[in-house]
Amino acid sequence: MIKVENLRKTFNGNIHAVKGVSFSLEKGEIGCIIGTSGCGKTTTLKMINRLIEPTDGKILVGSDDARSVDPVTWRRKIGYVIQKAGLLPHLTVKDNISLLSKIMKRDRDFITRRVDELMGIINMPYDQFANRYPIELSGGQQQRVGIARALMEDPPVMLMDEPFGALDPITRNSLHEEFWNLNEKLHKTIIIVTHDMDEAFKLGHKIILMHKGEITQVGTKEDFLERPANAFVEDFVQGHSGE
């Protein structure tokens, strides 16, 4: 479904932030990119939706090449969720969710129906929450609205940058479960950037460990626990699990 080939990013000609990253995910698969801060995981994610233009490499969603269209059109095909949701404080829940669809001049009835449906999916009934402002929601509720916003145009691929990072552990846990169940139904291809190994183990079909701009290991939870590629991976897994 999504294929990243030899992705590179060089800032100012000599700072190599990402040095040739390749991986792929099937439809319905969740991939978690994990690593210490400065390892290039967020840069990689932002290159995929072209918030940062890659210096070199190839990105394919289905058979579409990222470079075949302009960045705005490309981003509209990819759902995007960031830490603390990034909901616009001057818009209500329903206006936040439907922002892009309104800009794309979607039919009004479609928008109303879709917002209602999505709010059902995230367990925030329309009647109760549609007209609230972000400031009137809890952190977990804001994050769910952020996910609903990303799903509005029904993109095949979603990118999430530390989506559960700002939440307290209890909320985070319950959201993890909700999110997992949700994607069992929706079958989106999802890339999550995280620094939390537990989260990666819980949500990721595939875990991509990055270090100093390169991929150190790609694999499942079992691969990481039983067959770490090297001593760094072993240390990383031990140091981070059970945190």
Partner 1 sequence: MNKFLICLFFISNLYANVPIIIGSKSFSESVINSEMLALLLEDSGEKVIRKFSLGGTKVAFDALNHGGIHVYPDYTGTGYVMILKMNGEREPKKVHEIVSRQFLDKYGIAWSKPLGFNNTYALTIRKNDKELSSIKTISELAGKLGAYKLGAPYEFMERKDGYKGMASEYGLNFSQENIVSMNAGLMYSAIKDKQVDFIVSYSTDGRIKAFNLRILKDDKNYFPPYNPAFLAKADFLKQNPVLKETIQKLEGLISEDEMIEMNDQVDRLKQDPKDVARNFLINKKLLKGEIINQEVQTSFISFAYSRKGELLKLVIEHLWLSFSAIFFALLISLPLGVLLTRKEKAAKLIFPVINTIQTIPSLALLGFLIPILGIGFAPAALALFLYSLLPLVRNTYEGIRAVDRNFVEASRGIGLTNTQILFKVEIPLALPIILAGLRTATVIVIGTATLAALIGAGGLGDPIFRGVSTVNSNLILLGAIPSALLAIIADKFIGWSETQLVSKGIRLAKKRRA
> Minimal distance in Å, beta carbon 73 to partner 1?
8
34 is a site residue for partner 1 (CB under 8 A): no
Find, among 235, 239, 209, the residue nearest to 221 by Cα: 209
Please tell me the distance from the alpha carbon of residue 41 to that of residue 29, in angstroms, as a whole number.
18
Residue type present at position 93: V
Looking at 3, 19, 36, 51, which residue binds partner 1 (CB under 8 A)?
A: 51
Of 135, 149, 158, 50, whose CA–CA distance to 102 is shortest? 149
Distance of alpha carbon 160 from alpha carbon 60, whole angstroms: 18
167 to 206: interface string for partner 1, x by CB under 8 A: ----------------------------------------
Query: Segment contacting partner 1 (CB under 8 A): 21-29, 118-126, 131-139, 195-203?
Result: 131-139
- Closest to 221 measured CA to CA, from 232, 234, 205, 236: 205
> What is the nearest approach in angstroms of partner 1 to the Cβ of residue 72?
5
Binding residue for partner 1, selected from 4, 25, 124, 150, defined by CB under 8 A: 150
Q: Count the neighbouring beta carbons within 10 Å of the beta carbon of residue 125.
A: 11
The HSE-up count of residue 38 (CA atoms within 13 Å, CB side) is 2
Write out the binding residues for partner 1, residues 90-129 only, by CB under 8 A: 90-92, 99-100, 103
CB of 130 to partner 1, least distance (A): 13
In terms of CB distance, is 126 or 133 closer to partner 1?
A: 133
**Could you give the strand order of the β-sheet that contains 56-61, starting from the edge strand earlier in sequence?**
15-25, 2-11, 56-61, 64-65
Q: How far is the CB of 88 from partner 1 (least distance, A)?
A: 6
Binding site for partner 1 (CB under 8 A): 49, 51, 72-73, 75-76, 79-80, 82, 84-92, 99-100, 103, 133-136, 149-150, 159
